[in-house]
């Protein structure tokens, strides 16, 4: 579940020339890093996930074996240059993900004292159906 979802998110982001003009592909990463070594950068992390089996899922001898997967991903955008840079990257990410069927759930800004960098955190949710 989570590997496929994370790969989908990264693929959406690196497929956008608007985003990769602002952030190099190698700096759009999955998971946490101990210390970010290149700025600007974007990290993707799954923060919640759930699955719902519809009536008859894995028990019906025939018919629907549909499962709905709900995923919430967190996107962290970092810049040592400026707050504006995080906003520009954020503005490029939003249309890519919402056109991919995602719903933007939250959007927070802060300054990360540990990294000495501006940080913007966005969360997106999406769902997909699986016919197991």
Q: What CATH superfamily is the domain 2-131?
A: Phage tail protein-like (3.30.2000.10)
Q: 99 falls in which pLDDT band (50, 70, 90)?
A: very high
The kind and range of the H/E element at 4 are helix 2-14
Query: What would the mean pLDDT of 77-95 be, rounded to a whole number?
Result: 97
Determine the Cα–Cα distance for residues 84 and 118; give it in Å rounded to an integer. Answer: 9
Closest CA to 95 of 35, 31, 15: 15
pTM of the model: 0.86
Map out the domains of the chain as residue ranges. 2-131
pLDDT tens-place string over residues 46-59 = 898 888 887 777 77
Determine the Cα–Cα distance for residues 75 and 46; give it in Å rounded to an integer. Answer: 9
CA atoms within 13 A on the CB side of 115: 21
pLDDT tens-place string over residues 56-75 = 777 767 666 788 888 999 99
Q: 3-state DSSP helix/strand/coil percent for the chain, to nearest 5?
A: 30, 40, 30
Query: What would the mean pLDDT of 94-119 be, rounded to a whole number?
Result: 94
**pLDDT over 90, % of the chain:** 59
């Amino acid at each position: 579940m989570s590997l496929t979802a994370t790969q989908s998110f990264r693929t959406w982001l690196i497929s956008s020339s608007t985003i990769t003009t602002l952030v190099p592909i190698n700096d759009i990463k999955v998971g946490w890093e101990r210390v970010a070594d290149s700025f600007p950068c974007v990290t993707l992390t799954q923060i919640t996930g759930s699955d719902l089996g519809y009536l008859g899922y894995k028990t019906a001898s025939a018919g629907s074996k549909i499962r709905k997967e709900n995923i919430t991903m967190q996107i962290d955008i970092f810049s040592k240059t400026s707050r504006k840079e995080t906003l520009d990257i954020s503005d490029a990410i939003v249309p890519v993900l919402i056109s991919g069927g995602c719903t933007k759930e939250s959007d927070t800004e802060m300054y990360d004292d540990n990294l000495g960098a501006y940080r913007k955190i966005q969360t997106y949710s999406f769902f997909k159906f699986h016919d197991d």
